[in-house]
Amino acid sequence: MGSITRRLVADLHSKSSFLKQVSNVHFMTSVVTMNMKFSDACSGTTTGKGETLLPQEHPASQQLRLFSKVKSKAKSPVSKVEDPKEDISTEFSLDVVKAEIDACIDHLRHELSNFRSGRATPEMLDFVQVEVYGERVPLKSVAAVSVRSSQLLILSVYDPGAVDGVVRAIRESSLQLNANREGKSQEIQVPVPPPTRESVLALEKLIHKSGEAAKVSIRHSRHKGLREAKKAFPSKDDQKAAERDIQKLVDAATVDIDEVVKHKISTLHA
């Protein structure tokens, strides 16, 4: 009985040792498998099923990284985007203002030249445009104009092929004049009839109206120059100085306009 008991105890002890060894082997296998999965997850490797294991982060580390990003954004300096318009500086030129004012006066002279006065003068035809060989050119470039009497102009056309174009240009102009050609001559006669009292009064009104329109154009040039001066000069003193210079140009131009109007009206009564 005693020997049997000792044999059973020995067998139990042997089985217990074998179970422990099996348990240890199972435990080590599990540990190795977990380590491999963890390693694959960190490196982004692919599982046997074709699925990619992405690295996993602990929620605490995610919050820490998010906090560090917010903190770095707060510390990073904000870059200022400069507006290119801020670098554009308006330049003011008194010569430009003067050129615009002079152009207004030149336009007035051109307009008044179309108003027929009582006497025949070559300047009456200065602004007549003639179409020659498909191009429009000034009449004085294709013909010589002379005065035969106070009521008659004579034109000598240089090119025989331009005679018809000169006649047509004079008849279609705003001067309300007629042009006559005798035969195939290159000479053209332009009678200038004396104006009536009614026509002279009507022309005087038109001349004054043209003069006032020129003054309005000059005032527009003045306002434009003042705006540019205010943009170009931050100093009030510089702005005032520019305003005085512009006003001098306007005053001189106003005198010129009055003289042009006065001279034109005088030709109506000559």
Number of domains in the chain: 2
152 is a domain residue: yes
On whether both 150 and 264 belong to a single domain, the answer is no
- Tokens representing residue 106 in the block: 């030149």
Residues 263 and 202 in one domain: yes
Question: What domain range is 216 assigned to?
Answer: 94-106+196-268
Burial class (CB in 10 A: 0-12, 13-18, 19+), 54: exposed
Instruction: Pull the structure tokens for residue 176.
Output: 């309300």
- Ordered DSSP codes for 159-181: SGGGHHHHHHHHHHSTT----EE
Region class of 134: left (phi > 0), else alpha (psi between -120 and 50), else beta: left
pLDDT along the chain (270 residues), means of 10: 53 52 48 45 45 45 42 43 42 90 94 78 88 93 93 95 95 89 90 85 92 96 94 92 95 97 87
Give how far the C-alpha of residue 180 lies from the chain's centroid of Cα atoms, to the nearest Å: 50
User: Pick from 191, 213, 235: which residue ends a domain?
Assistant: 191
Q: What is the pTM of this model?
A: 0.52
